[in-house]
Amino acid sequence: MVGGPRGYTRKLARANRGFAADNAVAHWDARAEGLSMSRWLITNGARRVLSWSSWAVVGLGVFFAFMLTPWYRQIAAMPRVLLAVQWLGGALGVVAIPATLVLIVGMAIFCVREDRSRFSVKLSWFILFFLIAPFGSAIYYFFVYRKQVPATSGAGQ
């Protein structure tokens, strides 16, 4: 018997009989539930994490683009405003670096194991992943992952 909340073993058995779509099973232990990384990527919890990661990468891209504008040079002339922008950029970097890692790994695994596209399309995405790594993964999230993994209602997913 697998340890966990009461009724957990019965729900695990039901999920293993092919009712995996019933994700009401609490995420007590992904391995005990029989969820591999690629199967976890299609849950609502993964969708939420990947969504936040994608938006963090988009925010980082917008910040980088802002740094290339003449407005940034004007701000650099004002020490207090420059300090605030540097703090904002630092905070964004602290959030975006782990988000980037999660997004790149998650989208690469999803592309290989769960994506229903043709091989040539997957290969094109991988080339984009490696050319513009975090931004390519964010683009993949918005254009492929969100369409193939629809949001479902329910708590604990």
Tens digits of residue pLDDT in 104-132: 999 999 999 888 889 999 999 989 988 99
Residue 142 has pLDDT above 90, yes or no: yes
d(CA 41, CA 95): 21
Tens digits of residue pLDDT in 2-20: 444 555 445 444 544 443 3
Mean pLDDT of 82-97: 91
Domain definitions of the chain by residue range = 1-35, 36-148
Q: Give SS3 for 114.
A: coil
* Burial classification of residue 126, based on how many CB atoms lie within 10 Å of its CB (0-12 exposed, 13-18 middle, 19 or more buried): middle
Tokens for 108? 């690469």
Residue 153: what residue type?
A: S
d(CA 151, CA 81): 40
Q: What pLDDT score does 101 carry?
A: 94
